[in-house]
Amino acid sequence: MDASYSITDIASQISKCKLCELHKDRTLTVPGDGDPNSKIMIIGEAPGQNEDQKGIPFVGRAGHILDSLLESINIDRTKIFITNMVKCRPPKNRDPNVKEIIQCTDFLDHQISIINPLVIITLGRLSLKKFLPNTSIKIARGSIYKWKQYNIFPIYHPAAALYNPKLLPKMKSDFKKISSLIEGMETDFKSTQMK
């Protein structure tokens, strides 16, 4: 299956979605952005004001922090796929509620199965909860976990560093782990394919 076609197809379904109340206040839907053939997928929480205006995830202040963390390990954001738990902006940037997250889950699950990433990086509490409902970000961050066939790597949400700059060094060291983890996984993946 052509991954980019299917991701485009999901984006078009999202653009017409009226399953939850969030559609009423949105300017644009924010389906996700980047390379659908990537081995890395990043999942944040919900679009904010800048994302709602541009239709692209992580283009505001939190996005700048995310970009600099990615740059610090030489990863260009166009080479990975970035999306959110919900695809429309909650009013006044509140957290999306359980109902909104559930209504949007099918879109996210489809995106995950099309992209089939080696590693899913969750940003913050809400996206962690989807994969590891019984743990906290403080405990889970910076380690790898299994969810179905996927490797989950939770880290703090970049916006947390805006309020608490002391988190930034922790986030930088978590990002450093990601690049070596991915190298190791790619080697394992290639050797299983050669068998």
The contact set with ligand URA (CB under 6 A) reads 44-48, 51, 57-58, 60, 62, 84, 159
Where on the phi/psi map is residue 68: left (φ > 0), alpha (ψ -120 to 50), or beta? alpha
Name the residue nearer to ligand URA (CB basis): 136 or 187: 136
Name the residue nearer to ligand URA (CB basis): 36 or 63: 63
How many CB atoms within 10 Å of residue 159?
21
Q: How far is the CB of 193 from ligand URA (least distance, A)?
A: 34
Long-range contacts of 51-56 (CB under 8 A, 24+ apart): 51/89, 52/26, 52/27, 52/28, 52/88, 52/89, 53/27, 53/28, 54/28, 55/28, 55/29, 55/30, 55/31, 56/30
Q: How far is the CB of 148 from ligand URA (least distance, A)?
A: 22
Q: How far is the CB of 117 from ligand URA (least distance, A)?
A: 18
Question: Which residue's C-beta sits nearest to ligand URA?
Answer: 44
Tokens of 29: 């839907």
Q: How far is the CB of 125 from ligand URA (least distance, A)?
A: 10
- Reported as type and span, the H/E element at residue 132 is none
Q: How far is the CB of 142 from ligand URA (least distance, A)?
A: 19
Q: Which amino acid is at 26?
A: R
Name the residue nearer to ligand URA (CB basis): 49 or 187: 49
